[in-house]
């Protein structure tokens, strides 16, 4: 599901006429709430054409998933120290997107979620302000992630070990760039409403490079002459250092100030009192002393560098481009991209994110006497309470015997209530919709069904 991708697309409240101009003053505000919908099998829509005064009809979109987006003050999220330049955060189900808005543009600063905290070393440009029809802008970013071979999937680990025997860690560098072009303006129709929009075509390119480390072993010898040999050792990340001839000597890691003053207080790092090996998993400078003989100057330094060797490229992405289209509107009630369309390499639409109504959407269905939350808006009950009031009840005659009868019914069901009548299966499938007081149900199979009319729901049996 790509719900959080629309978050990254951004949130806008823009004010002008058909050809929209977006500036930093048009961005949604802290306290806003938007309903985001995702159609993973869109039908009846098209990308349309680039150019002026276009029309795009998205009326046939139907959500498979619905989410609530909350616009938050970054200083109140608990992550302001990690993202000090952020002035807006969008939250969805624990996922936080941190943003910076300025007269020059809108930038993504990083993310926080179940996967961890990821500040971007190079902020990602979302929109360059002011944004108008036929504008073009872009960005490039480099992301590094490190994984231990022992924590990888067996097939992945085996592949890397084939290309670099002895590898213990891999760094994946993903170089991503994108070009955004405002290629059209016009009108978009979503859920029966019309919006003035700009369309932005974004083309992204990504290449990956994998680097690895094959660790080496080193020795530090505690000499009887009260010196460590070597006193200064340079190693690489994940290398092993073996401390030998310990017993009357020891090695205790200390901070730099303690080392300079010949102190012995440990900084909580490594401590060994007999021969031992230590693997260095973080780059940096490590200071250590021999506590019995520090008065004689017995101390040493280990500098851990981070040097990676090239393994391969093009495993994740071989430089192929991907494209998506985003429609931005000037409607203050939207306040973020109205529609985002994902396409394949043939420009065929594969999924759509869009902002929709925040009205209560029926979510509950009665299934074999139990209330089930559909979680996708396809249910026929607006609340659990409404569902439980009807679900499992077989006494419809007692509830409304004078207006809905007979029960059970065989061929015709009398529903003497005003308005439209909808008959559903217990799985929530709409079977019949009629404005008539007598509804033909002869084609239905035997069993229980639900009638919804005038904001009330009833149950009847078909014999």
Alpha helices in 323-408 (DSSP H): 384-390, 396-400
Q: Yes or no: say if 246 and 224 are a contact pair by the CB < 8 Å rule.
A: no
Peptide bond into 297 cis (omega under 30): no
Report the first-to-last Cα separation within the chain, whole angstroms: 42
Strands annotated E in 237-388: 240-244, 251-254, 271-272, 276-279, 284-289, 299-305, 309-329, 339-343, 349-356, 364-367, 370-373
- Identify any residues that bridge with 396 across adjacent strands, giving them in sequence order: none
Distance CA 306, CA 312 (A): 18
**pLDDT reading at 361 higher than 70:** no
Q: Which of 417, 419, 412, 388 is nearest to 460 (CA)?
A: 412
DSSP 8-state assignment for residue 153: -
Q: Yes or no: say if 317 and 206 are a contact pair by the CB < 8 Å rule.
A: yes
- Assign 315 a pLDDT band (cuts: 50, 70, 90): low
Q: Yes or no: say if 187 and 55 are a contact pair by the CB < 8 Å rule.
A: yes
Q: pLDDT value at position 12?
A: 36
DSSP 8-state assignment for residue 192: T
- Assign 14 a pLDDT band (cuts: 50, 70, 90): very low
**pLDDT reading at 15 higher than 60:** no
HSE, CB side, 13 Å, CA atoms: give it for residue 458: 25
**pLDDT reading at 28 higher than 50:** yes
Domains of the chain: 3-135+180-201+320-356 (2.40.360), 238-305 (2.60.40.420), 364-462 (2.60.40)
Whole-number CA gyration radius for the chain:
32
- Give backbone dihedrals phi and psi of 441, rounded to 5 degrees, phi first: -120, 15
- Identify any residues that bridge with 303 across adjacent strands, giving them in sequence order: 234, 285
Mean pLDDT score, 296-315? 93
Alpha helices in 396-437 (DSSP H): 396-400
pLDDT digits (tens, 9 = 90+) for 139-172: 887 878 899 999 999 988 999 999 999 999 999 9
pLDDT digits (tens, 9 = 90+) for 51-82: 999 999 999 898 888 888 999 999 999 999 99
Q: Which of 334, 227, 372, 286 is nearest to 9 (CA)?
A: 334
| Dihedral, 255, 260, 266, 268 alpha carbons, nearest 10 | 10
Mean pLDDT score, 215-228? 97
């Amino acid at each position: 599901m790509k719900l959080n991708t629309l978050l990254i697309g951004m949130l806008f409240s823009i004010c002008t006429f058909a050809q929209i101009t977006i500036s930093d003053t048009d961005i949604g505000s802290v306290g806003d709430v938007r309903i985001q919908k995702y159609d993973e099998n869109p039908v009846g829509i098209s990308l349309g054409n680039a150019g002026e005064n276009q029309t795009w009809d998205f009326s046939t979109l139907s959500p498979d998933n619905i989410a609530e987006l909350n616009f938050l003050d970054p200083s109140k999220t608990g992550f302001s120290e990690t993202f000090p330049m952020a002035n807006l955060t969008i939250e969805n189900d624990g996922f936080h997107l941190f943003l910076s808005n300025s007269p020059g543009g809108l930038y993504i600063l990083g993310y926080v979620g179940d996967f961890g905290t990821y500040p971007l070393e190079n902020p990602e440009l979302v929109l360059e302000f002011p944004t108008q029809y036929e504008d073009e802008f872009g960005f490039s970013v480099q992301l590094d992630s490190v994984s231990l071979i022992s924590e990888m999937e067996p097939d992945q680990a085996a592949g890397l070990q084939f290309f670099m025997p002895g590898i213990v860690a891999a760094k994946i560098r993903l170089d991503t760039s994108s070009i955004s072009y405002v290629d059209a303006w016009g009108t978009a129709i979503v859920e029966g409403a019309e919006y003035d929009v700009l369309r932005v075509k974004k083309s992204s390119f990504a290449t990956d490079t994998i680097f690895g480390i094959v660790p080496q072993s080193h020795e530090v010898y505690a000499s009887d002459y009260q010196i460590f040999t070597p006193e200064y050792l340079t190693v690489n990340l994940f290398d092993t250092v073996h401390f030998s001839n310990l017993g009357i000597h020891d090695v205790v890691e200390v901070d730099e100030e303690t080392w300079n003053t010949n102190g012995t207080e440990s900084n909580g790092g490594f401590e060994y009192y007999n021969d031992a090996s230590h693997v260095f998993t973080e780059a940096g400078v490590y200071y250590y002393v021999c506590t019995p003989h520090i008065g004689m100057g017995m101390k040493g330094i280990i500098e851990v560098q981070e040097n990676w060797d090239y393994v391969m490229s093009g495993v994740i992405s071989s430089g192929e481009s991907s494209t998506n289209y985003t429609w931005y509107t000037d409607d203050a009630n939207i306040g973020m991209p109205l529609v985002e369309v994902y396409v394949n390499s043939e420009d065929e639409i594969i999924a759509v994110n869009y902002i929709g109504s925040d009205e209560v959407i029926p979510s509950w269905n009665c299934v074999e006497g139990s209330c089930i939350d559909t979680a996708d808006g396809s249910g026929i009950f607006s609340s659990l309470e409404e569902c439980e009031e009807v679900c499992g009840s077989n006494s419809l005659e007692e509830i409304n015997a004078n207006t809905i009868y007979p029960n059970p019914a065989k061929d015709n069901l009398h529903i003497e209530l005003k308005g439209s009548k909808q008959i559903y299966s217990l799985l929530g499938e709409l079977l019949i919709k009629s404005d008539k007081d007598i509804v033909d149900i002869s084609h239905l199979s035997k069993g229980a069904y639900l009638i919804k009319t005038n904001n009330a729901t009833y149950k009847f049996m078909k014999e």
